[in-house]
Amino acid sequence: MPSIPQPLNPHDDGRAAPAVAAALAAFEAGTAGDAEVLAALSGARLLVPVVALLTETEIGAHGLRQEKESEMALPKLVGQDGRHAVLAFTSAGALARWRQDARPIQATTLQVCRAAVQEQAAAVVVDVAGPVQFVIEGDVLAALAAVESGTVGGLSGVTVARVEPARRRRRFPWGRKPAR
């Protein structure tokens, strides 16, 4: 039997992270680029939609066709060129703007990118119905998926750095020269 994943944050109110919303607004205004949006998204929670997919019907007591079985499915977007994309949303409002009956599953951006690569999707489309659409694809998608799966060493031509806060420097009074 499939397991239901535990939420990343059980107290999540469904709103977009303020840093993500600000980065996307700046991107739309032309004052920020892909790098700023990706930086904001890198540690953010996204909502991946699942929808009910009817698998079997039957004729009910009143002679009407009714649902007998359904499964939950991860919808994919198919572009005009035939490439597939995984959908993700920054907020419950953005998800509802796309499709009212979709149910959200919390995931990190890195988890979504890894899932997209595993599903052989060419991209992750964030907030497809707005307010600001953003696409993660190509080498960036592959690199983010590799970070999540721990396979960064297998990528060629990609450098991934780990940035940590600077350690506090100890200051010694005898290191200063007296002012003259």
| pLDDT higher than 50, residue 1 | no
Question: What is d(CA 126, CA 131) in angstroms, rounded to the nearest whole number?
Answer: 10
CA distances in angstroms from 43 to 39, 133, 143, listed in the order given? 8, 18, 14
Most confident of 53-62, 67-76, 141-150: 141-150
Residue 64, domain member (yes or no): no
Helix (H) or strand (E) holding 68: strand 65-73
User: Which band of pLDDT confidence, cut at 50, 70 and 90, is reported for residue 74?
Assistant: confident
Q: What is the DSSP letter of 138?
A: H
User: Which band of pLDDT confidence, cut at 50, 70 and 90, is reported for residue 60?
Assistant: confident
User: Which band of pLDDT confidence, cut at 50, 70 and 90, is reported for residue 45?
Assistant: very high
At 121, the amino acid letter reads: A
pLDDT per residue as tens digits for the range 118-127: 999 999 999 9
Q: For the domain that residue 23 is a member of, what is the CATH number?
A: 3.40.1350
pLDDT per residue as tens digits for the range 89-147: 999 999 999 999 999 999 999 999 999 999 999 999 999 999 999 999 998 999 999 88
The values of phi and psi at residue 127, to 5°, are 55, 60
pTM: 0.76
Question: What is d(CA 40, CA 19) in angstroms, rounded to the nearest whole number?
Answer: 6
Residue 160, domain member (yes or no): no
Number of domains in the chain: 1
Residue 108, domain member (yes or no): yes
As a whole number, the mean pLDDT across the chain is 84
Residue 74, domain member (yes or no): yes
| Residue 65 burial by Cβ neighbours in a 10 Å radius (0-12, 13-18, 19+) | exposed
Residue 110, domain member (yes or no): yes
Residue 9, domain member (yes or no): no
| pLDDT higher than 80, residue 177 | no
The fraction of the chain above a pLDDT of 90, given in percent, is 56
The fraction of the chain above a pLDDT of 70, given in percent, is 76
| pLDDT higher than 60, residue 70 | yes
Which domain range does residue 98 map to? 18-52+70-153
Q: Residue 85: beta bridge partners?
A: 77, 123
Cβ-contact 57, 68 below 8 angstroms: yes
Residue 65, domain member (yes or no): no
Residue 5, domain member (yes or no): no
| pLDDT higher than 70, residue 171 | no
Structure tokens at 167: 């350690």
